[in-house]
Structures are given as structure tokens and as C-alpha cells.
Amino acid sequence: MDEVIVTTLHYIPGYRVKKVLGIVSGSVVRARSIGRDIVAVLRNIAGGEIVEYTELLASSRDEALKRMIEKAKAMGANGVIGVRLTTSNIMSGAAEVVAYGTAVILEKEI
């Protein structure tokens, strides 16, 4: 199994957890930019989704997951179970996205 299986479940159907390696996490802190803020203010006046911020959070989430998976691979894991995502404000205009879970070694059930 070359890929790391990542899930919010605490088990993976068809696999058993052979060994628990420990908690892994990945985080990223991103700040808004003046260009995004100007467009966001205009969108806020008109109403609707602020696409620029949606895209910023989506890319931050993807990067946090990527970093978590890299740490799991470095530990020798082929799975991460119980994955959760959190966000928090670091300061005005900057937010942290954290992905965390349990790195495991999985084996196919017979």
C-alpha cells in the first residue's frame, strides 16, 4: 500500500490496525491580503459567498492535511484514522488550520 489512507472514522473497513504509531498533526497559518479584503468588502455589500475567503480556507485545509500525511509517512504509517480539523484566529486577519489524527500501520483483512 503506497498511499496513506486518511479517514475521520476510527477504523477502515477491510483493514485492521496492526500498530498505533501515535498522534500526527499538520498546521498552517494564513493571513488575509489587502486585495482579497477589498474584493470581500464589495461582495459583503452585495451579499453572497465571499469566494476569496472560501478559497483561502480550502487551500489552508488542504495544506494542513498534506503536512499531517507527510508526518505520518515519516513515521512509517500507511493510515491516519480519527482525523479532525480545527481552526482558530491567531490575530486579526490571520487564522490557523490544524489537521490531526492517529497514525497507524494497517493490514488488509483476509
> pLDDT grade, residue 46 (50/70/90)?
low
- At 88-98, the pLDDT tens digits run 988 777 889 99
Q: DSSP label at 37? A: H
Comparing 46-50, 57-61, 92-96, the range with the smallest average pLDDT is 46-50
> Domains in the chain, please, with CATH?
5-108 (3.30.110.70)
CA angle 66, 72, 76 (to 5 degrees): 140
Q: Is 13 exposed, middle or buried (0-12, 13-18, 19+ CB in 10 A)?
A: exposed
pTM for the predicted model, two decimal places: 0.83
- At 8-19, the pLDDT tens digits run 999 999 999 999
